[in-house]
Amino acid sequence: MINYLRRWFRRVRDRTGGDSGRVTAFAVVFCVALLAVAGLVLDGGLALSAKVQALDEAQAAARQGAQQLDLGYYRSTGIARLDPSRAAQAAQTWLTNAGLDGKASATTEIVTVTVRRTRSTQLLQLVGVADLRVSATASAAAVQGVTGPAA
């Protein structure tokens, strides 16, 4: 019985021309593709997490800047507006104290902060992608009084 199976396998192999090395090449290509997809999933998730953290930090810095009111204008008119230079400086100081890379700007109405982060990859390093850069921008404005819930 064993000899019969051996002869049968030999005949099948002879008819198909043999498949020596074909499975190995397929396995190598498949493993590389699987690692690339796993790298996209893992490092993509880490980049998304870094983006959310950058947005949180930009929002916090913008809120810090939005607290810098032009008190002289407020006392004379009763209208809250920002002191642009102090607001931008306060937001930039918040970024510096937190050890973050970013830029802050302000007008009399709004403070805008952009935070930039670089995240090292875990698996994508295997295919030559060492870092992923993310950035997030947030704005805050001085609001006077209670305006009610957002609709």
Is 86's pLDDT higher than 70?
A: yes
More confident: 114 or 4: 114
CB-based contact 108:65 (threshold 8 Å)? no
The proportion of the chain whose per-residue pLDDT surpasses 90, expressed as a percent, equals 57
Q: Tokens representing 26? A: 């397929």
Q: Per-residue pLDDT tens for 33-78?
A: 888 888 889 999 999 999 999 999 999 999 999 999 999 998 999 8
Domain ranges (residues) in the chain: 25-141
Residue 66 backbone dihedrals phi, psi, to 5 degrees: -70, -10
